[in-house]
Structure 1
Amino acid sequence: MKTVIIKYNAGNVQSVMYALDRLGASYLYTDDEAEIRSADKVIFPGVGEASTAMNYLRRKGLDRLIPSLTQPVLGTCVGMQLMCRYSEENNTTCMGIFDVDVLRFPATPGFKVPHMGWNSIHAYGSPLTAGLPEDAYVYFVHSYAAPVCPFTVASCEYVHPFSAMLHKDNFYAAQFHCEISGEVGQRILSNFLTL
């Protein structure tokens, strides 16, 4: 099986690579269109800022390539947000795979933004969550989130309910960092690789 990690200007891919190594999965880190199209599975990770990342995707033509893929695709953190329609972060038009906008957490007494640390997810509705315990804990670092919507397949509460995971057709996404979410994150990645 050929797994590709999409190379673009939104880092932290090393921890994704370590997570795949722990699963014994081979992978290629590339922005080459032919390599991405020929992959069995595609991982679209992300750490960083939405507009800078989208500008890089547009320069490389990846903003058109990613939505056209037909194999399973998993976006995480900023990768998930860029798969949505729009982000309030620097007024950014994104790829529109998920027809939902990404909004900043409102200033709320008692809640720090960014939302950083371990939090539980629930209301599972995805093959990626098979075998997870109820209210599994995963690791988040984000100031923006997609609200609960028709594509939500796991949710979380921080300030208000938001989408922890999204799914549409062959596209899967997680707001949290699967690669640093311990056994739960490893199970999600393993489920993705065995879809």
Structure 2
Amino acid sequence: MTFRQTSDKKVAVFLANGLEEIEGLTVCDLLYRAGIPCDTVSITGTKDVTSSHQIHIVADKRIEDLDFDEYDMLVLPGGMPGTLNLGNCKALTDKVVEFAQTGKEIAAICAAPSVLAKLGLLKGKHATSNPNFKDTCVEGDAIYSEAPVVVDGNIITSRGMGTAIDFSFAIVEHYLGETGVEDLKPRIVWQGK
């Protein structure tokens, strides 16, 4: 498949050791298919990352080499201890706060919305997460939902591995509209609603 760029927007998906690989790589796959440029970014100090299921992934870039100004959205996959590792990466969390406060887009799935909650970014926002992280989101003053995906302004949250395609569709729709999602569905033989 040849990459056909349809958007001038660019997305960075952050990979930490212990990530849930489907939650990160599904986003990359569907953005690629939709023509939205996307880079995987390792926070490990090398490009090598090991998922929570011991799958070895080689990222496109290291966070140390990243020019955040090139990106329009930062995506945080869940997984354990990947989410904890993302939350402990100051270089990342500082930029997540900056993006959120300046109106640039942030997306987080599964346990990763808890990172946003702890940073104070879900206060008064509609959001969702993996059910095990509901309390953290509520403690962060989120207006909690059990919807598969929740979009509130510049923040997109989702529940987990089983909602990774819906999460990715929400990102595609943000940049390409509903038409972009409808164009993508038959190309992946989408059987959902």
Name the residue aligned to 2:25: 14
In 1, Cα distance between equivalents of 2:32 and 2:105: 19
Shift of the 37–156 alpha-carbon distance from structure 1 to 2, 3 Å rule, reads: same
State the shift of 1:27 in Å: 0.9
Q: SS at 1:78's partner residue?
A: coil
State the shift of 1:35 in Å: 2.5
Q: SS at 1:144's partner residue?
A: helix
Contact 1:42–1:73 (8 Å) recurs in 2:
yes
State the shift of 1:67 in Å: 0.4
Residue identity in the other structure for 2:155: F
Name the residue aligned to 1:28: 39
In 2, Cα distance between equivalents of 1:10 and 1:96: 24
TM-score when normalising by structure 1: 0.54
Name the residue aligned to 1:190: 172
Residue identity in the other structure for 2:123: D
Q: CA RMSD in A?
A: 3.6
Is 2:105 the partner of 1:72?
Answer: yes
In 2, Cα distance between equivalents of 1:33 and 1:171: 25
Residue identity in the other structure for 1:144: F
User: How many residue pairs get matched?
Assistant: 137
Residue identity in the other structure for 1:29: T
In 2, Cα distance between equivalents of 1:42 and 1:194: 17
State the shift of 1:164 in Å: 5.7
> Does 185-194 or 67-76 show the bigger shift?
185-194
Q: SS at 2:67's partner residue?
A: helix
Shift of the 96–9 alpha-carbon distance from structure 1 to 2, 3 Å rule, reads: farther
Contact 1:6–1:36 (8 Å) recurs in 2:
no
Contact 2:117–2:140 (8 Å) recurs in 1:
no
Name the residue aligned to 1:111: none
For each residue in 1:154-185, what CA deviation from the matched residue of structure 2 results, as whole angstroms up to 9, or x when unmatched?
7228xxxxx96363x5333223348634xx44
1:5 to 3, 7, 13: 13
For each residue in 1:10-32, what CA deviation from the matched residue of structure 2 results, as whole angstroms up to 9, or x when unmatched?
52122322222332322111224
More helix by share: 2
Name the residue aligned to 1:165: 150
Residue identity in the other structure for 1:45: P
Which consecutive unaligned segments of at least 5 residues does structure 1 have? 86-94, 101-124, 127-139, 158-162
Q: SS at 1:99's partner residue?
A: coil
Contact 2:14–2:74 (8 Å) recurs in 1:
yes
Identical-pair percentage: 12
In 2, Cα distance between equivalents of 1:75 and 1:53: 11
Which consecutive unaligned segments of at least 5 residues does structure 2 have? 1-7, 42-62, 178-193
Is 2:145 the partner of 1:155?
Answer: yes
TM-score when normalising by structure 2: 0.54
Residue identity in the other structure for 1:43: V
